[in-house]
Amino acid sequence: MTFTTRPELRGTFGMVASTHWLASAAGMAVLERGGNAFDAAAATGFTLQVVEPHLNGPGGDQQDQWSLHVFLAHVQFGLDLQSAIDAPNFHTDHFPSSFFPREAQPRSLALEGRFGDDVVADLRDRGHIVDVTDDWSLGRVSAVGRENGLLKAGANPRGMQGYAVGR
C-alpha cells in the first residue's frame, strides 16, 4: 500500500529535510561548502528559528509518537520514507501532558479520517475514545536516511510546507 504525495528523493552527496525551503537550502549550502551533517543540522535548525519562530521549540507530546510511526512503517513494514511519512497517522493523549497543567485523557485516540469508518468502529468497540480529525492533519515528520550508498529523504505534507533537498 502506498500513500505517497510526492517522490522520495535520492542522491549521493547529501540530504536535508525541514518544514521550510530556506532552512533546507541553508543546510544544503553548508554541506556543499564542506560541512558535515551536524553543521548542516545546526544551520537548518537556526534558520527555522528565524523563518518559523512560532513553529519551533523543544517539541510536543505527539512528536515522538509520530516519529515512531514513521520509523516502524519504514523499517518494519518496508515503506519508503515518503510513503511512511504520508501514511495515515494517529496519537494518544493517554499519558499526562508534559505541559502545564499536565492533563491526561485516558483511552483517548486521535486519528486521521483516512483510516476509515471500520477502523474507528473497531477502536470504539475496544473502549477507546476516538476523535477523528481531518485527513492529513496529524504527524509533522521529515526524515533522511541511507540505502545502498544513496541518501534519501522525505518531507511532511501535513498542515504546512515540507521540503527535502539533496544532490
The residue extents of the domains of the chain are 1-87+140-167, 90-138
Contacting residues for 147 by C-beta, under 8 A, at least 6 apart? none
* Per-residue pLDDT tens digits of the chain, which is 167 residues long: 566 666 777 777 888 888 888 989 999 999 999 988 878 888 888 788 778 766 655 567 787 788 889 888 998 899 999 999 999 999 998 888 777 888 889 999 999 999 999 999 999 999 999 999 999 999 888 888 888 888 888 888 887 777 887 77
Find cell 534519501 and name the residue.
152
Give pLDDT, residue 3: 65
Give pLDDT, residue 57: 55
Sheet strands side by side (includes 90-91): 90-91, 108-112, 129-133
On whether the CB atoms of residues 104 and 85 are closer than 8 A, the answer is no
In the DSSP assignment, the letter for residue 13 is S
